[in-house]
Amino acid sequence: MNDHLKRIAEQSFSFAYEACHKAGRKGGDGDHIWVQLAMAKCSQLIVRECANYAFSDDQEHKAMLKHFGVAE
């Protein structure tokens, strides 16, 4: 796994832990809510990273984010 993916994974896990803790949940692999939050955040960050890398044209960038349902 390269540094980009490690950073995305760390951000996703941190986001999921923070959201779970705010809701009074423990979080972690055994918590299905934590897993869903982490997966959703990870997907969002990957799409964002791809759009940022692939498109210098603002319209194409926005179209890709919209296609995957990632808000700006």
In the chain, where are the structural domains located? 3-67
User: Does the pLDDT of residue 43 top 80, yes or no?
Assistant: yes
Q: What is the phi/psi pair of residue 30, to 5°?
A: -80, -5
Q: Look over the chain and give the mean of its residue pLDDT values, rounded to a whole number.
A: 90
SS (H, E, C) 22-72: HCCCCCCCCCHHHHHHHHHHHHHHHHHHHHHHHCCCHHHHHHHHHHCCCCC
pLDDT tens-digit profile of 46-69?
Answer: 999 988 888 888 888 888 888 888
User: Does the pLDDT of residue 32 top 70, yes or no?
Assistant: yes
- Tell me the Cα Rg of the chain: 14
pLDDT value at residue 72: 64
